[in-house]
Structure 1
Amino acid sequence: MIQEIKSLKFPKSNIISINGIELEVFEAGKENIGNPIVLCHGFPEHAFSWRYQIPALAKAGYHVIVPNQRGYGNSSRPKEVTAYDITHLTDDLVALLDYYNYRDAVFVGHDWGANVVWNLALLHPERVNKILNLALPYQERGEKPWIQFMEEIFGEDFYFVHFNKKPGVADAVLENHAENFLRNLFRKNLPLAPPEPGMLMMNLAKAEKPFGEPIMNDVDLSVFVSAFRNSGYNGAINWYRNLDRNWHLLADIDPIIKQPTLMIYGNLDMIPKFERLQDFVPNLDVICLECGHHIQQELPHETNESILKWLAKFNG
């Protein structure tokens, strides 16, 4: 069942058929045809995570396009795990541009959405004219597949590894504790080392005592809770289950990103900064904000100001 989101006058969604699936897409600034910007959410999130950026970008003259990517919201949730590999995820965004008759666009990503945007620029560089990514820096393709590497470093209980080694287990735990998990996840200043950090997602789902201050009110939280009660977590977690497959798919791809790029870090984020980012993204600017992982929701004004100021450099 499709539910209308009314918080902050969030735009209504449309269901569009592209790339063999259906995507739920929110739009603003339709009058700004010809100046597209696509916002890509992370895990475990929703297009609603961009609620503060959508009106600001539309007011600034952008046609704002915000999909719930496959596995999320009211978008399709294919059963096959491989349907969530990086080829499918980036092809969805290419097909989205084709749907709107755009040759290219500015792409903004947060968390897993940032990973998709980084790889979109590698796999379809002609469709990306600028990149703004939040929280998750470019992931260097090392000598070993990512899950294999993480298991050797962090052990089998690290949640990336757990998702892959024990399919269905985390999915069920998160679904059985949907509200508690999201309430505990969307908080400021999560500690750098919560108990049993490898089991972070499971701990957040089961924890009775929150780890920090909330970043949203109950009304906004209810949008995420309702969405995941409807969709479940299997599709979203399947993105993780393709990491080693993605490593192989990217084997022969030029790893250098040439587009102008803004990387926004949260200084309190558990994800470390990538000190050699400019080696792979030479046309780079970096901004650090005093917040945790959920940058655009924790500091919406500062995020909007950073994005708009950086984009304005190219409009003079």
Structure 2
Amino acid sequence: MIEMPPLQFAQTNGIRTGYYEAGPISDRPPMVLCHGWPELAFSWRHQIKALSEAGIRVIAPDQRGYGATERPEPVEAYAIEQLTADLVGLLDHLKIDQAIFVGHDWGGFVVWQMPLRHPGRVAGVVGINTPHRDRAPIDPIAIFRERFGDMMYIVQFQDPAREPDRIFNSHVEATFDAFMRKPLPRAAAAASAAEQPIAGIGAAPKLNLAFPQMVEAYDGRRDARTPILTEEEKQVFVDAFRRTGFTGGINWYRNMTRNWRRSEGLDHTVHVPSLMIMAENDAVLPPSAADGMEKLVPDLEKYLVRNSGHWTQQEQPEEVSAKLIEWRRRRFG
């Protein structure tokens, strides 16, 4: 039986946002849990339960373009200014002055931007897998293209013809069957990669980042990795994305160049207590990506979750929840 609080709605920053809330309203500061791609607030189901039972107020929105939240048509509606303003609007709706923002994957990029753009609303930040970095010296899409080639999924997402959108929209169940699995041990991943390219996601020595084509060719019968979702949990994601499609979330990537251009001159120093939770076996966002963060985040604690790939809060939910509770109590009472 899947446990989630009732779905609620708020008008935030010009859109209707769907969100879930649990725990005592008197608890301050609450923790706002921000998901990544391709995910939902549902990705935090384990933490919502554990944190609220520990007496911590938690709020988990379906972010702009996802799930129960509206999906504006213009690509520029998904720029970082809008994504951070959505979270401010949610605090305003709930009459909350400050919150601790917790983000995984793309949600991590957003929460690290919160203290830079809305410092008065942020008590603390937790990044899960996603590190905080200084502004890139050149357009990040140019960096991805140079390092990984034109087939790298983020580069493909820039295509205005939206071919990646069509592929994901027509292979919804395969997307979650392929993505939401534990990585293989490195030796096994190397042995199986030649037979089944998708089997090496998050584990193969040479990572294949052509995700649309990998999903299109995916055959779950040949995938040796262990699913991290039950069939019931997977169906929640499948039903949501069959209804909404993937374009809303992909539009976040289509603003990376715009975000980079408009961040020129922005001080990237984070001046609030921060926690960086890293996953040992995440090949897309490895622990090494967090090296040197202390220069930009002076009040930083790091924590490594072993035996976890990219979907850390779902792969190792008890450990992630326990660390969030321990850090929250120690730093904020």
Distance in 2 between the 1:196 and 1:41 partners? 23
Distance in 2 between the 1:247 and 1:191 partners? 26
1:188 aligned to 2:199? no
Task: Work out which of the residue numbers 96, 106, 109 in structure 1 matches 2:90.
Answer: 96
Question: Does the Cα contact within 8 Å between 1:163 and 1:170 map onto a contact in 2?
Answer: yes
SS of residue matched to 1:65: strand
Distance in 2 between the 1:34 and 1:251 partners? 34
Q: Which residue number in structure 2 is paired with residue 262 of structure 1?
A: 275
Which piece of structure 1 moves more, 284-293 or 10-19?
10-19
Question: Does the Cα contact within 8 Å between 2:27 and 2:55 map onto a contact in 1?
Answer: no
1:75 aligned to 2:92? no
What is the CA distance between 1:315 and its match in structure 2? 4.1
Q: TM-score, normalised by structure 1?
A: 0.94
1:37 aligned to 2:31? yes
Task: Work out which of the residue numbers 168, 172, 180 in structure 1 matches 2:166.
Answer: 172
| Cα deviation digits, residues 224-257 of structure 1 (max 9, x gap) | 0011001100000000000010001211211111
Q: TM-score, normalised by structure 2?
A: 0.89
Task: Work out which of the residue numbers 216, 230, 234 in structure 1 matches 2:243.
Answer: 230
- Which consecutive residues of structure 2, in runs of 5 or more, have no partner in the other structure? 184-200
- Cα distance 1:38–1:205, how it changes in 2: closer, same or farther (>3 A)? farther
Q: Which residue number in structure 2 is paired with residue 4 of structure 1?
A: none
Counterpart AA for 1:283: D
What is the CA distance between 1:139 and its match in structure 2? 3.1
What is the CA distance between 1:8 and its match in structure 2? 2.6
Distance in 2 between the 1:151 and 1:18 partners? 35
Task: Work out which of the residue numbers 66, 71, 78 in structure 1 matches 2:60.
Answer: 66
Question: Does the Cα contact within 8 Å between 2:202 and 2:309 map onto a contact in 1?
Answer: no
Q: Which residue number in structure 1 is paired with residue 193 of structure 2?
A: none
Which piece of structure 1 moves more, 82-91 or 134-143?
134-143
1:286 aligned to 2:297? no
Distance in 1 between the 2:332 and 2:136 partners? 37
What is the CA distance between 1:34 and its match in structure 2? 4.0
Q: Which residue number in structure 2 is paired with residue 240 of structure 1?
A: 253
Distance in 2 between the 1:234 and 1:313 partners? 40
Q: Which residue number in structure 1 is paired with residue 14 of structure 2?
A: 20
1:136 aligned to 2:130? yes
Identity level (%): 38
- Cα distance 1:282–1:167, how it changes in 2: closer, same or farther (>3 A)? farther
SS of residue matched to 1:215: coil
1:302 aligned to 2:319? yes
Which piece of structure 1 moves more, 28-37 or 276-285?
28-37
What is the CA distance between 1:260 and its match in structure 2? 0.7
SS of residue matched to 1:8: coil
Question: Does the Cα contact within 8 Å between 1:182 and 1:205 map onto a contact in 2?
Answer: no
- Cα distance 1:130–1:224, how it changes in 2: closer, same or farther (>3 A)? same
| Cα deviation digits, residues 10-42 of structure 1 (max 9, x gap) | 111012111110100111114435442100001
Question: Does the Cα contact within 8 Å between 1:174 and 1:202 map onto a contact in 2?
Answer: no
Counterpart AA for 1:277: M
- Which consecutive residues of structure 1, in runs of 5 or more, have no partner in the other structure? 1-6
Distance in 1 between the 2:93 and 2:224 partners? 42
- Cα distance 1:205–1:48, how it changes in 2: closer, same or farther (>3 A)? farther
SS of residue matched to 1:45: coil
| Cα deviation digits, residues 59-108 of structure 1 (max 9, x gap) | 22222111000100011100000000000000000111111111110111
Q: Which residue number in structure 1 is paired with residue 211 of structure 2?
A: 200
- Cα distance 1:59–1:193, how it changes in 2: closer, same or farther (>3 A)? same
Question: Does the Cα contact within 8 Å between 1:28 and 1:58 map onto a contact in 2?
Answer: yes
- RMSD between aligned residues: 1.6
- Cα distance 1:212–1:166, how it changes in 2: closer, same or farther (>3 A)? farther
Distance in 2 between the 1:80 and 1:207 partners? 31
